[in-house]
Amino acid sequence: MEDATIYLILAGVFGLFMAWGIGANDVANAMATSIGAKALTIKQAIIIAAIFEFAGAVLAGGEVTSTIRKGMVDSNAFINEPELLVYGMLAALLAAGTWLFIASRKGWPVSTTHSIVGAIVGFAAVGLGADAVKWSKVGAIVASWIISPVTAGIFAFLIFTSIQKLILEQKDPFARAQKYAPIYIFFTVFLICLVTLFKGLKHVGFDLTTFQAYLGAAVFGVIIAGIGRFFIQRITIDKKAEKKFHYATVEKVFAVLMVITASAMAFAHGSNDVANAIGPVAAIVSVAQSGQVLQEAPLPIWILMLGGIGIVTGLATYGRRVIATVGSHITALTPSRGFSAELAAAFTIVVASGTCMPVSTTHVLVGAVLGVGMARGISAINLGVVGRIFLSWVITVPAGACLSIIFFFILKAVLS
C-alpha cells in the first residue's frame, strides 16, 4: 500500500489518544471504589493501575480485540477498497478519543465500549451502507451492556450479603474477618489467574493444559491468600476507633482485601477495554502491511503495549475528575462494600473477556456499586447521580457515531 507509513503513524497516534481517553475515563471508574472507600490514595491507585492495567492489556487483551476488530463490520465490504477500512478505523479512534476527552473533562463516567462501537458502526453504515454492519453482532454486544450491569449488581449483592452473614452480623466480627478474608482473596486471585492462563497467555506463545491452568491458578491463589493473611493478622483492634464505629477494625481488614481486588479490577479492565483502542489499530496495521483486508491477522505485541501505555498515562494525567463522581457520589462506600463491588465487577469483566464479549466496564462497575447499595436499601443510593450517569450512557453511542462520520469524510478527503 502506497501510504502505508502514513497510515501506521496515524494509527499509532490515534490509538494512543484513544487509549489515553480510556485511562482518563474508564480506569478512573475501576479505581474509584478503592479511593471512595479510602482503602487507597489516588497516588497508590495510579501505581497499582499502572502495573495491572498494563499487564492485563498485554497478557489478556487479545481475545476481545478480535471481536472489536473484525466482529462488527463485514470485512468483505472492504475487499475492493481496503483503504476505506483504514479511513474508517482512523475516524473511529479519533471520534471515540475526542468524546472521551470531552466526557472526562466534564467528569462524566461514560462507556469507552459504547464510544468505539458507536464510532465503528457510524462510519460503516454511512461510508459503506447499513448492509456492511453485522447487526446481529452489534445486537449481542448491546444486549451485553444490559446484562452485564445486572449480572455485576446481583454478584455484588450476593457477595456483600455473604459478608454481612459471615462477618458483620456475628458476635466477634473482627475474628470472623480474619478467618474468612483469606478465602475471599483466594477466590479473587484464582479467578483472575484462571482466565489469564486459559485465554491471555496464548498471545505470548504460552499454552497450558486445563489441569496445568487450574493447578497454576490454585497455587498462585494460595500464595497471595497467604500473603494477605500475613498482613491481616498484623492488624490490631483500635478501641478508640471502635467506640466511634463498631466495625472500624473489620473495615481495616477489608482495606487489605481492596488492594487485592483493585489489582484484579485493573487487570480485568486492561484485558477487556484495551480492545477499544487497539482493535482498530490492529485492523489498520494489517491492511497497511498486507495491502488487503485479511479475515485473520496477527496481533503484534507492540500494539498491546501501546494500548497499555496510553491507558496508564490517561489515568495519571486526567483521571481525578471521574473518580470523584463514581467513588463517592453514587452511594457511601466502606472497604467491605467497595470490596464487594470490585470483586463482582472484576468477575463479570474477566468472564466477559474470556468469552470475547466486549462489555462496558462503566456499566459493570456502576451496576456492582448499585448492587451493594441495594443490599442496604434504595435510600442508600443517590438516584439523581445515577440518572445523570444513565443519561450520559444514552448520549455516548450517537455522539461516537456522529463524530466518526464527520472524521471519516475529512480523512477520506485528505488522505485519498
More confident residue, 304 or 98: 98
Question: 329: how many CB neighbours lie within 10 A of its CB?
Answer: 18
C-alpha grid cell, residue 251 = 473495615
The pLDDT of residue 92 is 92
pLDDT given for residue 94 in this prediction: 95
Max mean pLDDT range (13-17, 202-206, 232-236): 13-17
Share of the chain above pLDDT 70, in %: 87
**Residue 85 pLDDT > 90, yes or no?**
no
- Return the closest-CA partner of residue 170 out of 247, 241, 252, 253: 247
Nearest to 300 by CA among 316, 314, 276, 281: 281
Report which of residues 207 and 40 the model is more confident about.
40
HSE-CB of 190 using CA atoms within 13 angstroms: 14
pLDDT at 271 over 70: yes
The model's pTM? 0.79
Question: Residue 270's closest CA among 52, 111, 68, 67?
Answer: 52
| ∠ CA 379-380-385, rounded to 5° | 95
Section 79-104 average pLDDT:
89
**Phi, psi at residue 110, to the nearest 5°?**
-105, 170
Q: Which pLDDT score, from 0 to 100, does residue 257 have?
A: 83
pLDDT for residue 203 is more than 60:
no
Which 3-state string (H, E, C) describes the chain?
A: CCCHHHHHHHHHHHHHHHHHHHHHHHHHHHHHHHHHCCCCCHHHHHHHHHHHHHHHHHHHCHHHHHHHHHCCECHHHHCCCHHHHHHHHHHHHHHHHHHHHHHHHHCCCCCHHHHHHHHHHHHHHHHCCHHHECHHHHHHHHHHHHHHHHHHHHHHHHHHHHHHHHHHCCCCHHHHHHHHHHHHHHHHHHHHHHHHHHHHHHHHCCCCCHHHHHHHHHHHHHHHHHHHHHHHHCCCCCHHHHHHCCCHHHHHHHHHHHHHHHHHHHHHHHHHHHHHHHHHHHHHHHHHHHCCCCCCCCCCHHHHHHHHHHHHHHHHHHCHHHHHHHHHCCECCCHHHHHHHHHHHHHHHHHHHHCCCCCCHHHHHHHHHHHHHHCCCHHHECHHHHHHHHHHHHHHHHHHHHHHHHHHHHHHHHHC
User: Domain total for the chain?
Assistant: 1
Q: What proportion of the chain, given as a percentage, has pLDDT over 90?
A: 15
> Do residues 323 and 39 make contact, with C-beta atoms less than 8 angstroms apart?
no
Phi, psi of 399 (to 5 degrees): -65, -45
Backbone φ, ψ for residue 247 (5° rounding) = -100, 20
What is the domain extent for residue 185? Answer: 4-415
Decide which of 86 and 239 is more confident: 86
Q: Is the pLDDT of residue 362 over 70?
A: yes
pLDDT at 151: 87
Cβ neighbors of 70 (< 8 A, separation 6 or more) are 283, 295
pLDDT band at 294 (very low <50, low <70, confident <90, very high): low
Higher local confidence (pLDDT), 374 or 64: 374
For cell 475526542, the residue is: 98
* Per-residue model confidence (pLDDT) at position 3: 78
Average pLDDT of the residues in 171-200: 81
Bridge partner residues of 133 (DSSP): 73
68 pLDDT higher than 60? no
Q: How far apart are CA 273 and CA 57, in angstroms?
A: 8
Give the chain's radius of gyration (CA, Å): 22
pLDDT for residue 373 is more than 70: yes
**How far, in Å, CA of 39 to CA of 263, rounded?**
12
Residue 413: is its pLDDT beyond 80?
yes
Q: Does position 343 have pLDDT exceeding 60, yes or no?
A: yes
pLDDT at position 397, please? 84
Would you state the cell numbers that stand for residue 302, as one nine-digit string?
A: 507492540
Q: State how far the Cα of 21 lies from the Cα of 267, in Å rounded to an integer.
A: 17
Contact 128, 414 (CB under 8 A): no
- Of 134, 135, 116, nearest to 74 by C-alpha is 134
Residue that is written with C-alpha cell 491452568 in the block? 213
Could you tell me which residues are beta bridge partners of residue 298? none
Q: Using one digit for the tens of pLDDT, what is the confidence trace for 122-138?
A: 888 887 787 778 787 77
- How large is the average pLDDT for residues 339-362? 76
Q: Which residue has the higher pLDDT, 317 or 98?
A: 98
CA 122 to chain centre: 23
pLDDT at 342 over 60: yes
